[in-house]
Chain A
Amino acid sequence: MKKITTIFLVAICGQFAIAQIGIGTVTPTADLHIVSKKEYIFTLKDNNASSDSFVLTSKDNTDGFIKKESTSIFKNLKFGNLNTGAELENKIIPATEPYTQNYTSGWKIVRDGAYIRLPQGRWAVYFTTLITLDRFINTEVIRNTAITVDLKMTDRAYADSPDVEGDTQGSTNGNAFVSGSIIFPSQKDIVKGVIIINNTKPGEGVVYRFMSRITVTTDSADAFNSLKDRTVTSILNGNFSQNQIYAVPLN
């Protein structure tokens, strides 16, 4: 009874803004003094998106407002799904393409299985993938030949997503895509890199997918033609042990 009365009086005092407040203590030693034996000290609800392990920080140095902020960079890692499709949908070089020293394909879809779902927030998406030819080529004509693979992130419908930071011409704040090359006589190599995603949409999260394009650079028409019936397999394919997609939350 005595305790309850104290709390009540303290609360009333708070209403009139004239005194120190003690919650769980009758002898406050600060303007607001809470002594809690519960699991948590107090509850702070606001209308902003929140997730586990947000830190209370001061908004700025003028008014003392408190805000919740994620500083737990290596918490809440998100992992992407890899696809199980066999290959890119299309051949490296269309059969009708005339020889050129530097051929670049259009962007092609990496099959639907490869995606990452990211909640609202800013994310550094790290991805690593093996790039390998579907069949080995073992001939002299392939010398002085390289296949470069670019990978970019898109929205669910494979359209360019405004959430990709830097995905504009001349952008200085990010990279639109990441690249790696197979340099012959090697038949495989790695593409890896990081793309920054800024998802401003609340809700269950946005699905991001991947597209790829291929550039063939070669001095040899024979090498060029020999690549026409081949594909680059293994791009973000779960059957290859180098491949993974994960995202780290950023502030």
Chain B
Amino acid sequence: MKKKFIISLLFILINTVISYSQIGIRNTNPDANLAVHGTMRLEHYTQGEGKVLVSNATGDVRWAAPFSLRYVSGRLAPAGEYRDIVEGNPQYTRARITLAPGGWLFKSIILLNNRHGNLAENQTVFATVYLSDSATDPTYSADYIDASARDMSGSLIGPSTYGLIDGAVVIRNTSTASKTYYLWGKLEYFTDNSNSPTRRAISLNNVATDAWGENVIYAIPIE
């Protein structure tokens, strides 16, 4: 009974000391609630080389890996494996990316160029790439999050030789394994009602292949 009383008393005292005082360690004039003049060692099962102290919303602190962007590169289609994108049904570009479970900000920069020469001044192409779960089924991936765009689009406007798609979408791989996403392409074609100048046949050349230095597909993990 006496022992219990002492323990209770000590608890009260400890709480009082810790809750209502500033503490200085090797510091007689603490100017913060805890002022350490010297070294600090925090042993915890989260410790590790290069880790930093991270706080949550209520101020609880533990060790964690410092934040740094991971960058996962996709695979562009090698020259020779590509398919041109033409008007009509979407086409698998042969570019793809494999992503671990979790959320991803996927980005694509894709050069647009017409195989049959520069478009005439009365021709434009609005090209789109998007992600599918399949190399053979053009359906949009089921993993787009609701708030995300689906299509990444850009224009090739005659008589310019080149156009560019520069887009981003957000997907979440909710499975427990890495998953491959396939980049599909499609286009819309615009012209006016004149036959002059003569229009070019339209077939986008080397979409998402390694033939163009501008092309890249990659993803950055998000929460």
Chain A residues engaging chain B, CB cutoff 8 angstroms: 1, 4-5, 7-8, 11-12, 14-15, 17, 19-21, 24-25, 28-37, 39-46, 50-56, 63, 65, 68, 71-77, 79-81, 126, 128, 130, 138-140, 142-143, 183-190, 192, 241-246
- Name the B residues within 8 Å of A34 (CB-CB): 41-44
Q: Does B142 contact A (CB under 8 A)?
A: no
Q: Do B14 and A7 touch (CB < 8 A)? A: yes
Query: What is the bound-complex CA distance between A146 and B13, given in angstroms?
Result: 78
Of all chain A residues, the one with the shortest Cβ separation from B39 is A30
Q: Do B17 and A17 touch (CB < 8 A)? A: no
In the complex, the number of residue pairs spanning A and B with C-beta atoms less than 8 Å apart equals 217
- Name the B residues within 8 Å of A185 (CB-CB): 122-124, 190-192
Q: Does B157 contact A (CB under 8 A)?
A: yes
Q: Does B38 contact A (CB under 8 A)?
A: yes
Q: Do B26 and A242 touch (CB < 8 A)? A: no
Chain B residues engaging chain A, CB cutoff 8 angstroms: 3, 6-7, 10-11, 13-14, 17-18, 21, 23-28, 30-32, 34, 36-46, 52-64, 66-67, 69, 105, 121-124, 126, 128, 130, 145, 147-155, 157, 166-170, 188, 190-194, 220-223
- Complex partner residue of A11 from B18, B27, B128, B157, CB under 8 angstroms: B18
Query: What is the bound-complex CA distance between A130 and B28, given in angstroms?
Result: 64
Of all chain B residues, the one with the shortest Cβ separation from A183 is B157
Q: Do A41 and B61 touch (CB < 8 A)? A: yes
- Complex partner residue of A138 from B17, B25, B37, B192, CB under 8 angstroms: B192
- Complex partner residue of B10 from A4, A15, A40, CB under 8 angstroms: A4
**What's the minimum C-beta distance from A186 to chain B, rounded to whole angstroms?**
4
